[in-house]
Structure 1
């Protein structure tokens, strides 16, 4: 195992542990992946099916290719997870990391016809950078991959309608930070909807949301700074993800 793979294993395992801390788990049924370096068909790390997020370590992640063959690891993967992640890794060379969640807030917004609204500075970050994918049932059908690719296009995140959220990034730090704030934007929208009977909801105008989105792009480098801080926090609490 080379140095790059070791680093990616540590980062991805840390992402699972942090997600467990944040309450993003849906028992065994969501998944994060990261593409391994190298030429040829993409290979990616993903969680072995059967483990909770707080059981994931750098060493028990498995390696899968885009044809579904397990290259390394003594475990199976979630078939729906393979469909979703292989779709993105096949289509987007820049989407090295893919994070998919079924959080309460994310699924609530995914069930809304209006999708994510510009009701807060955080949601404005995703203005014109968020795709939507129509629900087709549990993602067991590999033919859905082409439609997932079209829905994601060149966006940094995707709302899977009636399903959940997905984010992509060049690094684990990027994808995780994007998911953190996409989920928070959904939490804010859910809370705002509960206030709608008391006060009218004020939506950020499109032109201003576009401006704010551009501001966030200029400080995207800060995602790594935040990630390093999260890793320090995780190391203080439970460094066993490194095993």
Structure 2
């Protein structure tokens, strides 16, 4: 059997490109980041993508009663954020029933009530971190189960390596429903420079400084990675970890905010074709 050589990784150069995945060849069909002429145009875009993220969560089976909240900061009024309405299934969220709220939990636009737990956590993160534009949380099966272990995700795959040194385990307020305002800042403090958190005895949270699409995709990815690690651990065998060097390499090239946005684009296209009522 031939020896496996673990050679040092070469630094990939992207030139003027955001990612190595952007084609060097001109004229090919490839998703491009949007630009906006007005705040209104930008706002409509964000609302549509927020709805799509909710619909994507529905397709993934992330619903659990009224639990689960996704938010995105308004482009014109950064102290306000858009979120899904209370007690509306992810599959029924649409542009017309979104609500706009402030950091105190007051609904300033929309007819539905706000999810208090969502307001306590998300508003605190948005207020404490002006660079964070979007956040996602849901009570998922595997993420909640993994959160009971109170430990970080292991780099057992390329997918898991996308979260290497880019997520935290939050033990503050573990297992206690976040309905008191004091709980929010305790969680918000942990979101400095990371895109994801495992809240012990609670579940998963993701935050993005790029887009709601990125926050939504990395939530979907984190849930999947939790499922995979639980499956591997159930075998009783110790998995082989991706080395720290290769984990950081993978995180750099397949774990960025931009890559999260890019991963969401086929999800968006599929939803546009199959669920046009989300624009109602």
TM-score by length of 1: 0.92
Distance 1:220 1:152, change over 3 A: closer
Matches within 5 A, 1:71-110: 71-110=108-147
Structure 1 counterpart SS, 2:232: helix
- CA–CA distance in structure 2, aligned partners of residues 223 and 158 of structure 1: 16
Q: Which has the higher helix share?
A: 1
Alignment partner of 1:182 out of 222, 225, 229: 222
Contact 1:109 1:115 in 2 (8 A): no
Quick one: distance in 2 between partners of 1:70 and 1:212? 41
Partner of 1:159: 198
Q: Which moved more, 1:165-174 or 1:1-10?
A: 1-10
**Structure 1 residue 228, shift from structure 2 partner:** 2.4
Is the Cα–Cα contact under 8 Å of residues 120 and 188 in structure 1 kept in the other structure?
Answer: no
Displacement, 1:82?
Answer: 0.4
CA contact under 8 A between 1:80 and 1:140: conserved in structure 2? yes
What secondary structure does 2:119 align onto? helix
Residue 67 (structure 1) aligns with: 104
Structure 2 residue aligned with 1:21: 59
Aligned counterparts of 1:38 and 1:2: Cα–Cα separation in 2: 8
Contact 2:152 2:167 in 1 (8 A): no
The separation in 1 between residues aligned to 2:269 and 2:245, in whole angstroms, is 38
Q: What residue is the counterpart of 2:76 in the other structure? A: 38
Aligned counterparts of 1:82 and 1:3: Cα–Cα separation in 2: 26
Q: Which structure: larger Rg?
A: 2
Specify the alignment match of 1:7 in structure 2.
Answer: 45
User: Which residue does the alignment assign to 1:140?
Assistant: 179
- The one of 44, 53, 63 equivalent to 2:90 is 53
Closer/same/farther in 2, CA of residues 224 and 214 from structure 1, 3 Å limit: closer
Unaligned runs of 5+ in 2: 1-38
- Following superposition, the deviation at residue 152 of structure 1 comes to 1.8
SS in 1 for 2:190: helix
TM-fit CA distance, 1:114: 2.9
Check if 1:113 corresponds to 2:150: yes
CA contact (8 A) 1:133 1:152 kept: no
Q: CA deviation at 1:136?
A: 5.4
Question: RMSD in angstroms over aligned alpha carbons?
Answer: 1.7
- Distance in 2 (alpha carbons) for counterparts of 1:118 and 1:183: 14
- Give how far 1:10 is off: 0.6
CA apart distance, 1:15: 0.6
Deviations 1:141-196 (A, max 9, x none): 11122211212222111111110101111211211121121111111111112222
Residue 226 of structure 1: how far off its partner (Å): 2.8
Residues in 2 aligned to 1:33 and 1:78: alpha-carbon distance in whole angstroms: 11
The separation in 2 between residues aligned to 1:227 and 1:121, in whole angstroms, is 18
- 1:229-240 counterparts in 2 under 5 A? 229-240=266-277
In 2: Cα distance, 1:209 partner to 1:78 partner = 37
